[in-house]
Structure 1
Amino acid sequence: MISRPQLPLTAAIALALAASSHALTEAERAFDEDLPRIIVTADPLGDRTADEIIRPVSVLVNEELDRRRAGTLGEVLDGMPGVANSDFGPGVGRPVVRGLQGTRVQVLEDGLGTSDVSGEGADHAIALDPSRADQIEVFRGPATLLYGSGAAGGVVNIRTWRFSPVLPEAPRIDGAFSYGFNGKDRQGRLALEGPVGQDFVFRADYSLRRTDDFDIKGFQQVGQTAGNEDTLRNSDVETDSGSITGLWRGDWGHFGLGLSYWETEYGIPENFDARPRDIGGQSDDLERVFADYIRLDLRGEFIDPLPGISMGRLKMAWTDFEQEEVEFEFNRTPAGGELDERIVEAEFSNREFDARLELVHEPIANFRGVFGLQFTDREFEADDPRGADRGFYVRPNVTRTLSAFLVEELPTNFGRLEFGGRIERVRSAPDDVFGYRVEGITTADGSFLAFPEVLDAKAFTPFSLSAGALVEVGSDYHLRTSITRSERAPSPEQLFAFGRHAAAGTFEIGDPSLSKEGYTNIELGFDRHAGAFRFDVTAFYNRVNNFIFLASEDDGTGTPVGVNDIGNRAGEGAAANCAPGAGGLCRLRNQLVVNEQANAEFYGIELTSSIALVDGPVPLVLRLSGDHVRGKLRDGGNLPRITPTRAGVGLDTGFGDFDLSIDYQRVFKQTNVAEAESETAGFDLLGFDLFWRPQVLRGAQVYLQGRNLLNEDGRRHQSFFKEDAPIIGRALTTGLRFQLGG
Structure 2
Amino acid sequence: MNRLLFIVCAIICTNIYAQNPIKGKVLEQTTQTAIPYATIYLPELETGTVTNNNGEFSIELPKGTYKIVVSYIGFRTQSQNISVPTKDYLTIELSESAMEMEEVIVSTPFHKLQSENVMKVEQKKIKDLKASGALTLAEGITNIAGVESVSTGNSIGKPVIRGLSSNRVLVYTQGVRLENQQYGDEHGLGINDAGIESVEVIKGPASLLYGSDALGGVLYLNPERFANMDTSSGDASVNYFSNTKGYSTNVGYKSSSNGFKFLIRGSLAEHSDYDTNQYRVTNTRYREQDLKAGLGYQASNFKTEFRYNLNNSKLGLPEEIGIQSTAKTPMLPYQSVDNHIFSSKSTLFFEDSSLEVSLGYIYNNRKEFEDHHHHHEHKDHDDHDDHDYHDEHDEHDDHDEHDEHEEHEEQEENHDEQERLEAALNMKLKTFNYDIKYNLPAVGRFETIVGVQGMNQINSNYGEEILIPDATTNDFGVLATSHIHFETIDVQIGARYDFRSINIEDNFDKTFNSFNGALGFKTDIFQNITARLNLATGFRAPNLAELASDGSHEGTNRYEIGNENLTNEQNFQIDLALEYKNEHIEFFANAFYNKINDYIFLNPNGELINEDPVFLYEQQNASLYGGELGLHLHPHPIHWLHLESSFETVTGKLDNDNYLPLIPANSLTNTLRAEFNTTSIKNINAFVKLRSTFAQNNVNTYETVSDNYNLFSVGAGGTLTIFKNDLDISVSATNLFDTEYIHHLSRLKSDGILNMGRNVNVGVTYSM
Same fold (TM over 0.5): yes
Equivalences for residues 282-321 of structure 1 within 5 A: 286-304=332-350, 310-321=353-364
- What does the per-residue CA deviation read over 1:37-82, in whole Å, with 9 as the maximum and x for residues that have no partner? 4111111112x12232232210012763442473433201113211
Q: Which amino acid aligns with 2:221?
A: I
Select 1:121's aligned residue among 181, 184, 187. 184
Select 2:633's aligned residue among 606, 611, 616. 611
Q: Does 1:431 align with 2:505?
A: yes
Residues 552, 710 of structure 1: CA spacing in aligned structure 2 closer, same or farther, 3 A cutoff? farther
Any conservation in 1 of the 2:195–2:292 contact (CA below 8 Å)? no
**Structure 2: unaligned runs, 5 residues or longer:** 1-74, 77-93, 324-329, 382-405
Select 1:568's aligned residue among 593, 598, 610. 610
C-alpha deviation, 1:231, in angstroms: 0.5
- Tell me the equivalent position of 1:732: 760
Residue 535 of structure 2 aligns to a residue whose secondary structure is strand
- Tell me the equivalent position of 1:158: 221
Select 1:172's aligned residue among 230, 233, 241. 233
- Tell me the equivalent position of 1:49: 113
Select 1:669's aligned residue among 676, 695, 698. 695
**In 2, distance between residues paired with 1:147 and 1:374?**
8
Residue 77 of structure 1 aligns to a residue whose secondary structure is helix
Residues 714, 253 of structure 1: CA spacing in aligned structure 2 closer, same or farther, 3 A cutoff? farther
Any conservation in 2 of the 1:285–1:327 contact (CA below 8 Å)? no
Any conservation in 1 of the 2:227–2:261 contact (CA below 8 Å)? no
Residue 495 of structure 1 aligns to a residue whose secondary structure is helix
- Tell me the equivalent position of 1:270: 319
Q: Does 1:325 align with 2:368?
A: yes
Any conservation in 2 of the 1:73–1:95 contact (CA below 8 Å)? no
**In 1, distance between residues paired with 2:554 and 2:229?**
48
Select 1:468's aligned residue among 520, 525, 530. 520
Q: Which amino acid aligns with 2:285?
A: D
Worse-superposed segment, 34-43 or 237-246: 34-43
**In 1, distance between residues paired with 2:98 and 2:439?**
31
- Tell me the equivalent position of 2:202: 139
- Tell me the equivalent position of 1:702: 729
- Tell me the equivalent position of 2:296: 247
TM-score by length of structure 2 reads 0.77
Residue 394 of structure 1 aligns to a residue whose secondary structure is coil
Q: Does 1:353 align with 2:435?
A: no
**In 2, distance between residues paired with 1:622 and 1:32?**
15
- What does the per-residue CA deviation read over 1:255-303, in whole Å, with 9 as the maximum and x for residues that have no partner? 11233311000111232559xxxxxxxxx98420000022322111222
Q: Which amino acid aligns with 1:640?
A: P
Any conservation in 1 of the 2:133–2:761 contact (CA below 8 Å)? no
Any conservation in 2 of the 1:704–1:734 contact (CA below 8 Å)? yes
Equivalences for residues 55-74 of structure 1 within 5 A: 55-61=119-125, 64-68=128-132, 70-74=134-138
Any conservation in 2 of the 1:214–1:236 contact (CA below 8 Å)? yes
C-alpha deviation, 1:108, in angstroms: 0.8
**In 2, distance between residues paired with 1:31 and 1:551?**
56
**In 1, distance between residues paired with 2:570 and 2:551?**
28
Any conservation in 2 of the 1:114–1:128 contact (CA below 8 Å)? no
- Tell me the equivalent position of 2:258: 198
- Tell me the equivalent position of 2:571: 519
C-alpha deviation, 1:131, in angstroms: 2.2
- What does the per-residue CA deviation read over 1:83-140, in whole Å, with 9 as the maximum and x for residues that have no partner? 01111111111110000000111111022112212x1211112121112211111111
Any conservation in 2 of the 1:288–1:503 contact (CA below 8 Å)? no
- Tell me the equivalent position of 1:215: 275
Residues 510, 90 of structure 1: CA spacing in aligned structure 2 closer, same or farther, 3 A cutoff? same
Residue 641 of structure 1 aligns to a residue whose secondary structure is coil
C-alpha deviation, 1:502, in angstroms: 2.5
**In 2, distance between residues paired with 1:382 and 1:497?**
13
**In 1, distance between residues paired with 2:661 and 2:379?**
40
Select 2:599's aligned residue among 547, 553, 569. 547
Any conservation in 1 of the 2:281–2:321 contact (CA below 8 Å)? no
- Tell me the equivalent position of 1:625: 646
C-alpha deviation, 1:540, in angstroms: 0.4
C-alpha deviation, 1:737, in angstroms: 1.5
C-alpha deviation, 1:629, in angstroms: 0.2
- Tell me the equivalent position of 2:250: 189
Q: Which amino acid aligns with 1:64?
A: D
Residues 681, 373 of structure 1: CA spacing in aligned structure 2 closer, same or farther, 3 A cutoff? same
Residue 140 of structure 2 aligns to a residue whose secondary structure is helix
C-alpha deviation, 1:665, in angstroms: 0.9
**In 1, distance between residues paired with 2:462 and 2:163?**
30
**In 2, distance between residues paired with 1:30 and 1:661?**
26
Select 2:151's aligned residue among 72, 87, 101. 87
Q: Which amino acid aligns with 1:263?
A: N
C-alpha deviation, 1:605, in angstroms: 1.5
**In 1, distance between residues paired with 2:348 and 2:437?**
10
**In 1, distance between residues paired with 2:137 and 2:126?**
16
**In 2, distance between residues paired with 1:216 and 1:592?**
33
Q: Relative contact order: is structure 1 or structure 2 higher (C-alpha 8 Å, sep ≥ 6)?
A: 1
**Structure 1: unaligned runs, 5 residues or longer:** 1-26, 219-229, 275-283, 386-390, 433-454, 556-560, 570-589
- Tell me the equivalent position of 1:410: 484
Q: Does 1:490 align with 2:528?
A: no
**In 1, distance between residues paired with 2:357 and 2:321?**
51
Any conservation in 1 of the 2:207–2:516 contact (CA below 8 Å)? yes
**In 2, distance between residues paired with 1:673 and 1:115?**
29
Any conservation in 1 of the 2:316–2:331 contact (CA below 8 Å)? no
- What does the per-residue CA deviation read over 1:498-541, in whole Å, with 9 as the maximum and x for residues that have no partner? 22223343332221100111101011110024421002211000
- Tell me the equivalent position of 1:376: 455
Any conservation in 2 of the 1:632–1:638 contact (CA below 8 Å)? yes
Residues 332, 738 of structure 1: CA spacing in aligned structure 2 closer, same or farther, 3 A cutoff? closer
C-alpha deviation, 1:550, in angstroms: 2.8
Q: Which amino acid aligns with 2:311?
A: W
Q: Which amino acid aligns with 1:179?
A: Y
**In 2, distance between residues paired with 1:69 and 1:424?**
41
**In 2, distance between residues paired with 1:251 and 1:206?**
32
Select 1:680's aligned residue among 674, 691, 706. 706
Q: Which amino acid aligns with 1:720?
A: R
Q: Does 1:599 align with 2:625?
A: no
- Tell me the equivalent position of 1:535: 587
**In 2, distance between residues paired with 1:211 and 1:715?**
20
- Tell me the equivalent position of 1:448: none
Any conservation in 2 of the 1:77–1:84 contact (CA below 8 Å)? yes
Q: Does 1:503 align with 2:555?
A: yes
Worse-superposed segment, 332-341 or 654-663: 332-341
TM-score by length of structure 1 reads 0.80
Q: Which amino acid aligns with 1:411?
A: H
C-alpha deviation, 1:403, in angstroms: 0.6
Residues 310, 672 of structure 1: CA spacing in aligned structure 2 closer, same or farther, 3 A cutoff? same
Any conservation in 1 of the 2:240–2:762 contact (CA below 8 Å)? yes
- Tell me the equivalent position of 2:104: 39
Any conservation in 1 of the 2:152–2:747 contact (CA below 8 Å)? yes
